[in-house]
Chain A
Amino acid sequence: MTRRSLTAACTVSAVLWASAASAEIAPADVVWEDEIAIPASLSGAPGDPDAGRIALSSRSVGNCLSCHVNSDMPEHDFHGDVAPPLDGTGARWSEAELRGIVANAKRAFPGSMMPVFYNDNPADYIRPGNAYTGRAYDPETFSTLLSAQEIEDIVAYLVTLTEW
């Protein structure tokens, strides 16, 4: 992370702190551009690529490696191959497009196997469960698969993947 983005992150989180996180955009309020892209930060703050790297590979957070190979992460065993490699994705897509893909890939790729990571409306799903318990969802706790900030962090990491 550069000093510039660090400073920006600190400034923004300070502002966020002051305004009690009101800058976060709820899933239903996301503004889309060209159907597939989201220009504005979902959390209102910039993403942290180092945190994004961890969130992407962590099984309990993004678990993106269950479907994607990512050559930038040889330290992780068992990358899945049901999806295209993430190598070079930062060169193929703009930041706004990557945010759109991570939030709801079914807009860019209709019918995609890739889950929608930013939707907290249980009515959009068939038999949504309570995480991985196999039981019915709990309306009190049902939430997006990734938080707004986790998506920002992952997007900040994805834009660095320009080699392929």
Chain B
Amino acid sequence: MKTITKLWASAAICGAMLTGMAQADPHPTAELIIEGELHLATRAEPPEHLGGALPEIYSGWLFRTDETRELQMDDFDNPGILFTERGLDRWEMADGATEQSCADCHGDVESMAGVRAVMPKVNEDGELWALQNYINNCRTERMEADAWGWRSEPMKDMTSLISLQSRGMPVAVHMDGDHAPFWEQGREMYYTRFGQLELSCANCHEDNWGRMIRADHLSQGMSNGFPTYRLKNASIVPLHQRFLGCIRDTRGETFAEGSPEFIALELYVASRGLGLPIEGVSVRQ
């Protein structure tokens, strides 16, 4: 009983503090317009499967500073665009024993429009694959070239280029049928309190978005902006590298980038953003 009364006392100051403090994020009015032309929605109705856990869904873009947000509005200022340009060179470059390029089979890279939006996706063998798996499959099976590492420069370039072709298209991952067991696995992971700090993704990104964890503004942890150019890393950061960092910060043992666990988590996290558009290459600090 005593505990309850005291909790009320702290809840009261907590409430006072929250209303008294400027809640800077998510930005209430900012609009993401690329090059003054392409309007990308950063707020959307939450998908039904969230059951009201989030009142509205927000792009991570809305939680960043004015300077960082502006970088993403201009392709000349967005350092991620450089990766897509290198990606285009690679798209046309013959490689491997068959001496073929991506373009030889796929034609113009615009044929990849919509591909990023449905990733990760179950393949013909019933496995859940991320975009990186599909790219490496073409390289090893069709081109007889070496697979690219998940964090390698060519993989960052190519995933950035392919994502850019879906910029503005809504996230369109599947949750049912073949995808259902993977989605369930990812959902389970999202609510698991990992590590010695016992923190789940939901503890930070569902229960506390909009608040500060020390110097960091917590967003809803959406994945529609990936791959992301992170100013802190001065490079493209693939989604699994982000997952790895978030689990490491719980003093937990992470999963490997490209592991089946992280691909399942990728599917579930993407499904929380159903309604938001792919941002191609976003910019975050």
Interface residues of A (CB under 8 A from B): 36, 59, 63, 65-67, 69, 77-85, 87-89, 92-93, 108-109, 113, 115-116, 125-137, 145, 164
Contacts and interface: CB of A to CB of B under 8 A. Distances in A.
Complex A-B, nearest 6 residue pairs according to Cβ-Cβ distance, in ascending order: A134-B248, A84-B10, A78-B215, A66-B214, A84-B14, A127-B253
B252 interface: yes
A35 B197 CA distance: 21
A126 B214 contact: no
B196 interface: yes
Contacts of A80: 211-214
A88 B14 CA distance: 12
Interface string B176-199: 000000000000000011111111
B11 interface: yes
Contacts of B197: 115, 145
Contacts, number: 104
B18 interface: yes
B50 interface: no
B196 A128 contact: yes
A113 B207 contact: yes
Interface of B: 3, 6-7, 9-11, 13-14, 17-18, 21, 192-199, 203-204, 207-208, 211-215, 218, 244, 247-254
Specify the main secondary structure of chain A where it touches its partner.
loop
Nearest to B255: A127
Given A80-B214, A84-B11, A134-B252, 12 more contacts: A78-B215, A87-B13, A89-B10, A115-B199, A125-B198, A126-B194, A128-B195, A128-B253, A129-B248, A129-B252, A134-B254, A137-B253
